[in-house]
Structure 1
């Protein structure tokens, strides 16, 4: 993961830059599963205003910009404070992402699907090709969440209401890739 540093009001020495890199090692460890993603980098912006140093750390992670800004009397103090706050913010986002998008979604959908009973009887001869009927709730989710849900459930398709457009969509798997059908009402 690349570290990009910028400074305004003073020059960043090699010592300061290596100290910052060392302090951000905890962040890299927290992101070990995500480090291989293309384009992931941490942006560090130093600013000296009078006797105070300000450090702004920023990173784009899981579709969100995580930004932390700290102020201190010396450059090493601001690095310590900002790196600790940044590590906490990254861990918080990582835990939120794990708990809300993987385990909880899988358990909720499966529990709801098991509890619901079919509305129709398939005893008629004209419907003998249909093996079973399940009734599930139509969820309103973003496209990213629908992809995650499909992966978790390992289904061939997923029908949902798109949170951004409000339209009914169907996501399906075809030859290792995904397709999206947008229904018009």
Structure 2
């Protein structure tokens, strides 16, 4: 497992680095050895924020964030969130009779996160590789893991671009005509 740490408005001390590495290496038993973990730290006057994104080899993205007065507490809270998400993912994969090998994933796709100028209406652009088609159920699972309200994916059955989204009574699907 590779952990990449980026800090913004805070000096990355050895004790913070050790806390992050020791905490998130505990997830290594659930993830494959070549999984990428991106950690972003940001400190403002009121809070200290940590964002952790895990990119698995099969393209699944697991993400959690938290803001606290104490960075060490925020690290522990984010770890607990990620652990719960990984457990939920493992349970879903077992229930769908997919091989999970203790949630060791393969074939991670490239992910880019690009910030555009602040005076633009668009504040962030994300690029995803849509070459790997998904079932609707897998897309819903990925959307839930990311904590988003919608998810764009290439449908396994039709090879068309589809969108799943959360509704007040469940989920919705937008298909291409």
Smaller-chain TM-score bracket: 0.5 to 0.7
Residue 78 of structure 1 corresponds to: 74
Q: Unpaired runs of 5+ in structure 1?
A: 104-141, 146-160, 167-185
Deviation at 1:24, TM superposition (A): 1.1
Residue 100 of structure 1 corresponds to: 96
Distance 1:10 1:162 in 2: 44
Residue 19 of structure 2 corresponds to: 19
More helix by share: 1
Distance 1:23 1:43 in 2: 13
What is the CA RMSD across the aligned residues, in angstroms?
Answer: 2.4
How many residues align? The count is: 108
Q: Unpaired runs of 5+ in structure 2?
A: 100-131, 136-154, 161-177
User: Are the aligned partners of 1:26 and 1:87 in contact in 2 as well (CA < 8 Å)?
Assistant: no
Distance 1:102 1:83 in 2: 25
Q: Are the structure 2 counterparts of residues 48 and 100 from structure 1 closer, same or farther at C-alpha, using a change threshold of 3 Å?
A: same
SS of 1:58's partner is strand
How is 1:8-47 mapped onto 2 (pairs within 5 angstroms)?
8-31=8-31, 34-35=32-33, 38=34, 40-47=35-42
| Larger-gyration structure (1/2) | 1
Compute the TM-score of the two structures, normalised by the length of structure 1.
0.52
Q: Are the structure 2 counterparts of residues 78 and 144 from structure 1 closer, same or farther at C-alpha, using a change threshold of 3 Å?
A: same
Q: Greater relative contact order: 1 or 2 (C-alpha under 8 angstroms, separation 6 or more)?
A: 2
